[in-house]
Structure 1
Amino acid sequence: MQPISNHSTSFSSSGGFGARLGRAVLAAMIVSSLLVPGFGARSAFAQPAPKPDVPAGDDDKLFSCHKSNGMVSVTFKPETELKDLLAWVMGFTCKNFIADPRIVSTGKKVTIIAPNKLSAADAYETFLIALSTMGLTLIPKGPVYRIVESASAKSETVPIYKKGTPANSDQFVRYILRPTYAQVETLRGALDSIRSTSGSVQTVGSMLIITDYSSQIRDMMSLARAIDVPGNTDGIYTIAVKYADATQLQQKLNEILGVTAGGAGGGGGPPPPTKARPNTPGAPAGGGGGGGGGDDVSGAVPSKILVDDRTNTLIVVASPAGYQRVKSLVDRLDITLDTEGGSSIHVY
């Protein structure tokens, strides 16, 4: 029986050693977790690495932008649609665009062939030209640009210019023009003949309001400068003289206004034209019977004053402002005289 007892004692001693070893290992792990931050957390809460988000579709990649000052590639397939054009320009400008689904659904397309890279500015101009080719344009609306039909753009709120020359761009703008010498209707007719089919030229008092592509208005301003010059605005007006002698009145008017006489009865050669003074922008075009009515009328000089003896009528060659000045003086001078003989005319 003794050998069995010894064996049991030996087994018991071995079991106690194993327990002590296990406790030592556990203690070492606890100490390690305290000394090395995150050791235990990584061991106890290890999770598989998250999978990258799967793109929802092609639009996620399509509608991404990065402003660039470098060169821009133009790699379009033939007959590019509006959606692809917007995605391209947004890619290097990061501008915000809104397009009516009805415009997109029309299926308008354009073909752009540009073998060389373009600067960001030239690429954007190419985009605007492509839009105008499709019959579309941009309208700024706060932080976004709205795509509209060019034909309806003239009724939109677009950038307004009051002076200078607009940029050579296909952006829709509005320009307010005040002619200095030319008659408003004369200038309107000339500018209306070269506007685009989507533009408009309207007369408002002594001003012209032009709405069109900026590049189109730029051409209009070149034409306006050629038309709106001194000596190119004279019209022919007649003033019936009721009480005074037209010939005597003509002579008196020439003295007052410093105009060289053109002869009676329509005869006589035309005198050297007197340079008309420019109209003052914003001043009223007409002068009342009180004499004048504005700096443009009071400072205007007619080119010549003729007389038709048969009808006792004055023939005035002048700008509208010059005519108004002559008419105002005639209204003051052509009156019945209470004094006997009535041969004296006094102008104060």
Structure 2
Amino acid sequence: MTVEQRQKKGYLFRAVSIVIAFLVITAVWGADTGGGLQEGKAGEKAVTIDFDGVDIVVFIKFISELTGKNFVIDSAVRGNVTVISPTRITPQEAYMVFESVLDVHGYAAVPAGNIIKIIPAAQTRGQNVETRLRESAVSPSDKVVTRIVPLSYANADEIKKILDPLVSKGSIIVSYPPAGMLVVTDLLSNIQRLLKIIEAVDVQGMGEQITVVPLTYGSAAPMAKSISGLFQDTSRKTKRDATPEPIIKVIADERTNSLIVLASEADTAKIRELIKLLDREPVRGEGDVRVYYLQNAKAEDMAKVLMAIPVAPAGKEQEKGKTPILSKEVQIVADKSTNSLVITAGKDDWQVLEEVIRKLDITRRMVYIEALLMEVSVAKDFELGVEWRGAEKTGSIDGRQIVTFGASTSQPSAFPGVNTGTQSVTLPLGFSLGVLGEGISIGGFLFPNIGAVVRAYQKDSDVHILSTPQIMTTDNEDAEIQVGKNVPYLTRQDTSQSGIDYSHYEYKDVGVTLQITPQINQDRFVRLKIMQEVSQVIKEESSVGLPTTLKRMAKTTVIVKDGHTIVIGGLIDDTMNSGVYRVPCLGGIPGLGNFFRTESSNTGKTNLFVFLTPHIIEYVSEADGLYREKKEQIDKVKEGSIKMYERKGGK
């Protein structure tokens, strides 16, 4: 048989097949409807499809006539079709059977406008197949569609590995990890089967693993924060408007300096590579440990101030517009030997600390204080030209009001020496506090400074100069001067079982104590916190040697201008003096001597005065000037070239 004969035979076979198919359909319709079509439930005609070894092209033409659809058949479409369908179906159901027949033979129907292309299924991935984002209400079919499947928890690459063996021949699955989704092109019926599998495995925690990564150079806490922030943008949502769930969790274990990573296998590998790049040895001189050498402040005090700065709460970001605060990782250690601070902090924290240190580590001003403690007999005409500070007004001098402590009346005449005409005032017997000017006026004499007062009264029997201390201290630092002796006090006497007596003693300081704390303001006024105490042993009250002490103490806080003098007075002491006067030789004769001797006793009162003059030393030139002034005063006094004092009015 020749080729032409075989081709003619093939054409004849196809023609006969088509005729037989139509005869079968016509016979079915005629048998059921009497030569017409049977109506379905929805008014559609119903047919019975029953083919045995029919050419697939003939079957396609049959479906085209039945449904009214236009088909373009690829040249690769070949084969015979066998369909057994004893029940009647509608044309729509017949088309679904048609799609299943194509799928069985490895072909697919792809819509393209008003026509449908019949092509091999392997070529459908590049064709215009129907794309669905969500599940629709249609029934499963063997129609080829492209479905976009968003994932909630699982990794897209991991799910693709699971589904690849389950897709139809020629179908394709594409994963897109950044968006957490899959793109599947397959039969609709198979896609719906795959969706059930995805729903079962796309649950929280699926595919995650825990890994511990130790660090060599880096710190666990900041590195965990950096990595978590880097992967935070890859978070996904469980549903619309839901809170994003991080797909990666990195926790710092500061005790072992390690990172605990909870992530998928793929993400864990990425994190390990990132840690390998970050965990490097820092360049010398660029680490987080710095040493700051202080010039003026004490390292211990500065460290306490810096550590008191609030730290940022863990897990919270610093709000914009607020004063920057330190992170929790900042550490500050004071080195006393070098007066320096060893600071462990990041770049941002270091900038804050450096600015604070620079403002606090400044040169502090000093105060040079001249003091005079003197006792004056109350009988002494000891008038002071002073402006008294207190609660009650007692008069005025040169237009300035005079007030006093302990006054029972507000009349100036109640105090001796208060005379607005003569401009003099005498200290009352109560506690008094006054402010003198740059010169000191006592008893009608004007003294240039405290040193002149000391030299003027050092030989006066009614004036007892206790101490003339001079001290220099730093602003806001305590200064103390103590002159006296350590006196033993018998506290307890006991007798042991063996009959030996023993005594217990305590030693207490007796003498003059002056404590001063200066505080300088911007206008060169000095706030002085003063504690002055004078104690002395007066007599022994018993045979066991228990001493009795007299203590006079004053505590106060005053404000005085630089170079001016203040005085504290009114600390009264009552003393009793007794004496025996007798005629030489005769006064010592027993019995008869009483006629030649006299015993007398008298009571005296002394008033304790404390003079204080502060001098602010802010610059080196002021210290040099004070030194020259004191030296000149001493030299002139030794030479006798200046008067110790001069009367008011220049006399």
Query: Common fold, TM-score beyond 0.5?
Result: yes
**Distance across 2 between alignment mates of 1:84 and 1:322:** 54
Residue type at the aligned position of 1:192? D
**Distance across 1 between alignment mates of 2:186 and 2:348:** 50
Residue type at the aligned position of 1:125? M
Answer yes or no: is the 8 Å Cα contact 1:191–1:220 preserved in 2.
yes
Q: Which of 201, 210, 216 pairs up with 1:227? A: 201
**Distance across 2 between alignment mates of 1:346 and 1:71:** 82
The answer on 1:93 being equivalent to 2:67 is yes
Aligned-pair CA distance for 1:244: 4.8
The answer on 1:116 being equivalent to 2:87 is yes
The answer on 1:194 being equivalent to 2:166 is yes
User: Residues 292, 76 of structure 1: CA spacing in aligned structure 2 closer, same or farther, 3 A cutoff?
Assistant: closer
Residue type at the aligned position of 1:175? R
Residue type at the aligned position of 2:56? L
Q: Which of 99, 124, 129 pairs up with 1:158? A: 129
Q: Which of 213, 218, 233 pairs up with 1:293? A: 233
The answer on 1:203 being equivalent to 2:181 is no
Aligned-pair CA distance for 1:101: 3.6
Q: Which residue of 2 aligns with 1:170?
A: 142
String of CA shifts for 1:24-47, please: whole Å, max 9, x gaps. Answer: xxxxxxxxxxxxxxxxxxxxxxxx
Residue type at the aligned position of 2:163? L
Structure 2 residue runs without a partner (length 5+): 1-14, 23-36, 238-243, 292-341, 350-651
String of CA shifts for 1:95-147, please: whole Å, max 9, x gaps. Answer: 111112442xx3x1121111110123322211111111121110111100010
Q: Which residue of 2 aligns with 1:80?
A: 54
User: Residues 317, 111 of structure 1: CA spacing in aligned structure 2 closer, same or farther, 3 A cutoff?
Assistant: same
**Distance across 1 between alignment mates of 2:201 and 2:131:** 23
Q: Which of 153, 176, 182 pairs up with 2:154? A: 182
**Distance across 2 between alignment mates of 1:131 and 1:240:** 58
User: Residues 242, 89 of structure 1: CA spacing in aligned structure 2 closer, same or farther, 3 A cutoff?
Assistant: same
Aligned-pair CA distance for 1:205: 4.3
**Distance across 1 between alignment mates of 2:258 and 2:159:** 30
String of CA shifts for 1:193-222, please: whole Å, max 9, x gaps. Answer: 210112111223433221111111111111
Q: In proportion to residue count, which structure has more strand?
A: 2
Q: Which of 148, 162, 171 pairs up with 2:119? A: 148
Residue type at the aligned position of 1:293? D
**Distance across 1 between alignment mates of 2:217 and 2:343:** 11
Answer yes or no: is the 8 Å Cα contact 2:156–2:176 preserved in 1.
no
Q: How does 1:192-341 map to 2 (within 5 A)?
A: 192-206=164-178, 207-244=181-218, 246=220, 249=221, 292-293=232-233, 296=236, 299-300=245-246, 305=251, 312-318=257-263, 336-339=287-290, 341=342
**Distance across 2 between alignment mates of 1:225 and 1:300:** 20
Farther off after superposition, 120-129 or 144-153: 120-129
User: Residues 208, 202 of structure 1: CA spacing in aligned structure 2 closer, same or farther, 3 A cutoff?
Assistant: same
Aligned-pair CA distance for 1:307: 5.1
**Distance across 1 between alignment mates of 2:156 and 2:87:** 46
Identity level (%) = 20
**Distance across 2 between alignment mates of 1:93 and 1:160:** 23
Answer yes or no: is the 8 Å Cα contact 2:289–2:345 preserved in 1.
no
Which structure has more relative contact order (CA 8 Å, sep 6+)? It is: 1
User: Residues 156, 187 of structure 1: CA spacing in aligned structure 2 closer, same or farther, 3 A cutoff?
Assistant: same
User: Residues 174, 94 of structure 1: CA spacing in aligned structure 2 closer, same or farther, 3 A cutoff?
Assistant: same
Rg: which structure is higher?
Answer: 2
Q: In proportion to residue count, which structure has more helix?
A: 1
**Distance across 2 between alignment mates of 1:167 and 1:303:** 41
**Distance across 2 between alignment mates of 1:226 and 1:217:** 14
Q: How does 1:33-112 map to 2 (within 5 A)?
A: 69-103=43-77, 106=78, 108-112=79-83
Residue type at the aligned position of 2:233? G
Residue aligned with 2:52, SS: coil
User: Residues 87, 313 of structure 1: CA spacing in aligned structure 2 closer, same or farther, 3 A cutoff?
Assistant: same
String of CA shifts for 1:264-313, please: whole Å, max 9, x gaps. Answer: xxxxxxxxxxxxxxxxxxxxxx9775x84355497527668475977x43
**Distance across 2 between alignment mates of 1:82 and 1:143:** 21
The answer on 1:131 being equivalent to 2:105 is no
Residue aligned with 1:79, SS: strand
**Distance across 2 between alignment mates of 1:345 and 1:116:** 81
Aligned-pair CA distance for 1:151: 2.0
User: Residues 342, 177 of structure 1: CA spacing in aligned structure 2 closer, same or farther, 3 A cutoff?
Assistant: farther
Answer yes or no: is the 8 Å Cα contact 1:308–1:315 preserved in 2.
no
User: Residues 79, 309 of structure 1: CA spacing in aligned structure 2 closer, same or farther, 3 A cutoff?
Assistant: farther
User: Residues 347, 191 of structure 1: CA spacing in aligned structure 2 closer, same or farther, 3 A cutoff?
Assistant: farther
Answer yes or no: is the 8 Å Cα contact 2:236–2:247 preserved in 1.
no
Aligned-pair CA distance for 1:175: 1.4
Structure 1 residue runs without a partner (length 5+): 1-56, 257-285
Aligned-pair CA distance for 1:343: 5.5
**Distance across 2 between alignment mates of 1:101 and 1:168:** 29
If the length of structure 2 is used for normalisation, what is the TM-score? 0.33
Farther off after superposition, 292-301 or 172-181: 292-301
User: Residues 190, 301 of structure 1: CA spacing in aligned structure 2 closer, same or farther, 3 A cutoff?
Assistant: closer
User: Residues 122, 347 of structure 1: CA spacing in aligned structure 2 closer, same or farther, 3 A cutoff?
Assistant: farther
Aligned-pair CA distance for 1:321: 11
**Distance across 2 between alignment mates of 1:244 and 1:156:** 53
Residue type at the aligned position of 2:160? R
User: Residues 292, 83 of structure 1: CA spacing in aligned structure 2 closer, same or farther, 3 A cutoff?
Assistant: closer
Aligned-pair CA distance for 1:191: 1.4
